[in-house]
Chains A and B, each alone.
Chain A
């Protein structure tokens, strides 16, 4: 093994490109473990009779929401309604000339009434809090949830808006200028969180 390679717990050799500063923060097992622990905590926090639905923010949050919903289903013994929120129309930089170009609008797909339900809002990364602000506004336009709880895989913690997660998988402090990329098997062929 050369200096540029490091063995990860899966036993496979992971080539890390130190020169370009890319680093794998979480691998497939770690992501799976984090989600299982998170599902345990969510399930134990829920009061009897609470009506829960899981809503993911496009696009990686959508995948994580589906996984969490499946994990919660086995713990709670019943299926949970699951939906996807497209926050493009609610972004605070949509009409900001300095804003980055938003991803293509694909629409919200929430095939149930959110009113009166406890919504578990799921995203891959909590950073500035701006996406979550947009997501809450988008959600509230669909109805009046009983409560909204936030679950994120990674918290980068810049928190420009006063928004904190209720369930955080992994806290990460990285220098300004670096970005976190969450890759998931369903969308990127492989589970991993990298900093680059």
Chain B
């Protein structure tokens, strides 16, 4: 039975730019709506006509397999047409600006833009310059809202609620938009978040975030209900944040040995793609505590919910536009 959220509450945002500004109720509305989309994977026709005739543009200025395919499939399952846009095969490589590119696409009659960009704030900039709905699929070091939504969805699915849970996020927090969105979503839903990693990978203003910080995984792992292992993003690491990969693995890798110290029911999560043997050992990634593949499956339902809700808000907005 899908949870009944407050009947008087209405989703009204036509953009999903991040989770920082969302209320608990708004986050729960997305998660509740996603529950309704979960059964699609088992249907004979895995489609519904909710976005029929609508056009979704996947504007990815950075590489992605999971998120991009997940959004494409989510849009397809809602019967929308999808335009795939990549930086290298478009006029962006000829010097066209982001806003010009988007306005040109909009002139063709697009309804929703899913954007991933290496500059934080790019989705927000776009939302102020075009009429289409904007969904942030990851912007710089800022936010990756749908990843955090599918993470919280997965935790809620297994644990029932996030209220009072202790969640550890391990790794390169500085360069992680996943960590940021996770902090907003999970703390709003009542979880206690601890960021774990070497001081060199902690953001400068970490004390302004509603989190605890630990530089030692071994000293906190026994208390965690959920551990979210971030990928070491070699493409973003500058300088020498840790002496060697081996040393990082030794202190912060989720190994079989370290799992022995953890609670037997601790959930092991990873946003993918995983560096096997680096931040997580294969036996753990594929082990009984891992929900890594379930996260991917849930991502589809969550993205369907997001596309559905922003489109509904845009339809409502049209009604009241004179």
Q: Which stretch (A71-79, A104-112, A159-167) binds chain B?
A: A104-112
A95 and B39 within 8 A (CB):
no
Total A residues in contact with B, Cβ cutoff 8 Å: 26
Which listed residue, A97, A141, A144, touches B47 by the CB 8 Å rule? A141
Contact mask for chain A residues 49-93; partner B; CB cutoff 8 A; 1 contact, 0 none: 000000000000000000000000000000000000010111000
Question: Which residues of A are found within 8 Å of B38, using beta-carbon distances?
Answer: 107
Specify which of B10, B33, B43, B315 is in contact with A95 (CB 8 Å cutoff). Answer: B315
Contact of A104 among B33, B48, B318, B319 (CB under 8 A): B33
Contacts of A81-130 to chain B: CB distance below 8 A? 86, 88-90, 94-95, 97-99, 101-109, 115
**Contact assessment for B308 and A104 in the assembled complex, using a CB-CB cutoff below 8 Å:** no
| A contact residues around B5 at 8 Å (CB) | 104
With A89-B50, A107-B35, A107-B37: A141-B44 Cβ-Cβ less than 8 Å: yes
Query: Quick check: B7 and A104 within 8 Å, CB to CB?
Result: yes
Bound Cα distance from A99 to B312, whole angstroms:
11
Measured between C-beta atoms, what is the minimum distance from A165 to chain B in Å? 24
Residue in chain A with minimal CB distance to B311: A95
Most A Cβ at <10 Å: residue of B48, B50, B78: B48
Q: Which residues of B contact A140 (CB under 8 A)?
A: 45
Q: Show 6 A/B contacts (Cβ-Cβ < 8 Å), sorted by A.
A: A89-B78, A90-B50, A95-B53, A97-B318, A109-B2, A141-B44
Closest Cβ neighbor of A95 among chain B residues: B315
Q: Are B49 and A90 in contact (CB under 8 A)?
A: yes
A-contacting residues of B (Cβ < 8 Å)?
1-2, 4-5, 7, 10, 29, 32-33, 35-39, 43-45, 47-54, 78, 308, 311-312, 315-316, 318-319
Check B50–A107 contact: CB distance below 8 A. Answer: no
CB neighbours of B39 from chain A (8 A): 107-109
Interface presence of A42 (CB below 8 A): no
- A106:B36 contact, CB within 8 angstroms: yes
Closest residue to B45 on the A side, CB-wise? A141
Tell me the nearest residue of chain A to B33, going by C-beta. A105
Whose C-beta in chain A lies nearest to the C-beta of B305? A105
Interface contact B54-A95, CB-CB below 8 Å: yes
Q: Is the pair B48, A107 in contact by a Cβ cutoff of 8 Å?
A: no
How close is B145's CB to chain A, nearest CB, in angstroms? 19
Residue A138 lies at the interface, judged by CB distance under 8 Å to chain B: yes
A46 in the interface (beta carbon within 8 A): no
CB B26 to nearest CB in A, in angstroms, measures: 13
Query: Is A181 among interface residues, defined by CB-CB distance under 8 A?
Result: no
**CA A173 – CA B49 in complex, angstroms?**
33
Q: B312 contacts which chain A residues (CB < 8 A)? A: 101-102
Residues of A within 8 Å of B50, CB to CB, are 88-90, 94
Q: Is A142 an interface residue (CB 8 A)?
A: yes
Contact of B54 with A105 in the complex, beta carbons under 8 Å: no
The answer to whether A97 and B319 have CB atoms under 8 Å apart is yes
CB distance from A140 to the nearest CB of B (A): 8
Per the bound structure, the CA–CA distance linking A108 and B36 in Å amounts to 7
Q: With A89-B49, A95-B53 as given contacts, are A101 and B10 in contact (CB-CB < 8 Å)? A: yes
Q: Name the residue among B38, B45, B49, B308 with the largest chain A CB count within 10 angstroms.
A: B49
With A95-B53, A97-B318, A97-B319 already in contact, the answer to whether A109 and B1 are too (CB < 8 A) is yes
Nearest CB in chain B to that of A92: its residue: B49
